[in-house]
Protein backbone atom coordinates (compact mmCIF):
# COMPACT_ATOMS: atom_id res chain seq x y z
CA UNK A 1 0.00 0.00 0.00
CA UNK A 2 1.33 3.44 -0.93
CA UNK A 3 1.65 6.31 1.52
CA UNK A 4 0.28 9.77 0.78
CA UNK A 5 0.87 12.83 2.93
CA UNK A 6 -1.85 15.45 2.92
CA UNK A 7 -1.89 18.85 4.59
CA UNK A 8 -5.26 19.68 6.13
CA UNK A 9 -6.52 22.94 7.60
CA UNK A 10 -7.11 22.71 11.35
CA UNK A 11 -10.90 22.74 10.98
CA UNK A 12 -10.95 19.92 8.44
CA UNK A 13 -8.53 17.90 10.55
CA UNK A 14 -10.82 18.28 13.57
CA UNK A 15 -13.85 17.19 11.52
CA UNK A 16 -11.95 14.18 10.17
CA UNK A 17 -10.83 13.16 13.65
CA UNK A 18 -14.36 13.48 15.06
CA UNK A 19 -15.88 11.52 12.15
CA UNK A 20 -13.30 8.75 12.55
CA UNK A 21 -14.06 8.50 16.27
CA UNK A 22 -17.82 8.34 15.65
CA UNK A 23 -17.30 5.53 13.14
CA UNK A 24 -14.74 3.81 15.36
CA UNK A 25 -12.17 3.67 12.58
CA UNK A 26 -8.84 5.27 11.78
CA UNK A 27 -8.50 8.60 10.01
CA UNK A 28 -6.58 6.86 7.21
CA UNK A 29 -9.33 4.30 6.69
CA UNK A 30 -11.98 7.03 6.60
CA UNK A 31 -9.99 9.03 4.04
CA UNK A 32 -9.51 5.92 1.87
CA UNK A 33 -13.21 5.05 1.95
CA UNK A 34 -14.21 8.64 1.21
CA UNK A 35 -11.83 8.85 -1.74
CA UNK A 36 -13.21 5.58 -3.11
CA UNK A 37 -16.77 6.91 -2.94
CA UNK A 38 -15.91 10.23 -4.56
CA UNK A 39 -13.89 8.65 -7.36
CA UNK A 40 -16.56 6.00 -8.02
CA UNK A 41 -19.26 8.69 -8.28
CA UNK A 42 -17.06 10.74 -10.61
CA UNK A 43 -16.50 7.75 -12.92
CA UNK A 44 -20.14 6.63 -12.87
CA UNK A 45 -22.29 7.49 -15.87
CA UNK A 46 -24.39 10.57 -15.31
CA UNK A 47 -28.02 9.94 -14.60
CA UNK A 48 -30.94 12.11 -15.45
CA UNK A 49 -33.38 12.80 -18.19
CA UNK A 50 -32.34 13.31 -21.80
CA UNK A 51 -32.90 17.04 -21.27
CA UNK A 52 -30.57 17.02 -18.25
CA UNK A 53 -27.85 15.37 -20.31
CA UNK A 54 -28.08 17.84 -23.25
CA UNK A 55 -29.11 20.96 -21.34
CA UNK A 56 -25.94 22.76 -22.44
CA UNK A 57 -26.89 22.17 -26.11
CA UNK A 58 -30.46 23.47 -25.90
CA UNK A 59 -30.81 26.66 -27.92
CA UNK A 60 -27.39 26.43 -29.57
CA UNK A 61 -28.85 26.18 -33.10
CA UNK A 62 -30.24 29.20 -34.93
CA UNK A 63 -33.57 28.91 -36.72
CA UNK A 64 -37.25 28.78 -35.96
CA UNK A 65 -38.02 27.50 -32.50
CA UNK A 66 -40.76 25.25 -33.91
CA UNK A 67 -40.91 24.04 -37.51
CA UNK A 68 -44.70 24.13 -37.41
CA UNK A 69 -44.59 27.93 -37.63
CA UNK A 70 -43.63 27.65 -41.31
CA UNK A 71 -46.18 26.07 -43.66
CA UNK A 72 -43.37 25.41 -46.16
CA UNK A 73 -41.81 22.94 -43.71
CA UNK A 74 -45.15 21.18 -43.26
CA UNK A 75 -45.74 20.66 -47.01
CA UNK A 76 -43.25 17.77 -47.15
CA UNK A 77 -43.66 16.56 -43.58
CA UNK A 78 -43.97 12.77 -43.40
CA UNK A 79 -42.92 12.07 -46.98
pLDDT of residue 21: 97
| 74 and 68 Cβ atoms separated by less than 8 Å | yes
Identify the band that residue 64 occupies on the pLDDT scale cut at 50, 70 and 90.
low
User: What tens digit of pLDDT does each residue of 4-59 get?
Assistant: 999 999 999 999 999 999 999 999 999 999 999 999 888 777 777 888 888 888 87
Other residues' Cβ atoms within 10 Å of the Cβ of residue 28? 13
In the chain, where the domains are located: 10-75
End-to-end Cα distance, the chain: 65
Can you list the alpha helix ranges (DSSP code H) found in the chain? Answer: 10-23, 27-43, 50-54, 71-75
Amino acid sequence: MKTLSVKLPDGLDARLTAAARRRKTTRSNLVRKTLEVVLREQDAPKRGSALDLVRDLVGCVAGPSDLSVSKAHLNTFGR
